[in-house]
Amino acid sequence: MTDLSHIHRFVPGNRHGATPLLLLHGTGGDENDLLPLGQAVAPGASLLSPRGQILENGMPRFFRRLAEGVFDEDDLRRRAHQLADFVNDARNRYDLPAPIALGYSNGANIAAAVLQLRPEVLSGAILHRAMVPLRDPPAVDLAGKPVLIVSGQMDPIIPASNAERLAVALAKSGADVQHRTLPIGHQLSQADVTVAQQWLRDIEFAKDAAA
């Protein structure tokens, strides 16, 4: 689909009450990449999967960077707002409640930035291999938003201290953060799927119990 701001795929769900997922790919990925992960993590949920609008040497990304792990923060802020606007437009088009973002690497980083800049568009986030996106984020109220951060102990791109700083910052803003570190590297693994599936089941169970 191309007439919203982002090229994207939308896969309608068939499980009543399942929170939709906003799938955000890593550098060099596209809107097709994370559909199998989304289906595995949240069977039957609607999936909304945009493609990042930046090209770095032909590889799609969600925002510009100056070097690996060094972000162009002006661009990141602008792109995070554009992505938030896309989510709002797509929610109207497809009649969706606020999604949980499921992002990997570059996609996890913009998801964290959207949480800090436009928290109302997401109902939570699953961040695989995320790092601190903004050096100086605005004060934000994330009270009650569930966030899962899944880091890799052997990740050569993201220092453990950086992922931990993100977890602490989001928790200080009130998010209900769970930070898991797996004995793996930067690539996604089956363990990512299992951890995210279990976390989401717990979240949905708690939501149903509270309803």
Would you name the residues annotated as active-site residues? Answer: 105, 155, 186
Q: In terms of CB distance, is 106 or 151 closer to ligand MLT?
A: 106
Q: What are the C-alpha distances in Å from 163 to residues 7, 130, 158, 166, 204?
A: 29, 6, 7, 5, 25
Residues 3 and 90 sit within 8 Å (Cβ to Cβ): no
Q: Is 68 in the site for ligand MLT (CB under 6 A)?
A: yes
Stretch that binds ligand MLT, among 12-20, 31-39, 65-73, 168-176 (CB under 6 A): 65-73
What span, in angstroms and rounded, lies between the C-alpha atoms of 99 and 94? 12
Q: In terms of CB distance, is 68 or 136 closer to ligand MLT?
A: 68
CB of 14 to ligand MLT, least distance (A): 32
Stretch that binds ligand MLT, among 39-47, 104-112, 141-149, 172-180 (CB under 6 A): 104-112
Encoded tokens for 164: 């931990």
- DSSP strand pairing (70-71 vs 65-67): antiparallel
Q: Is 65 in the site for ligand MLT (CB under 6 A)?
A: yes
Among 26, 50, 52, 103, binds ligand MLT (CB under 6 A): 26
What span, in angstroms and rounded, lies between the C-alpha atoms of 43 and 77? 32
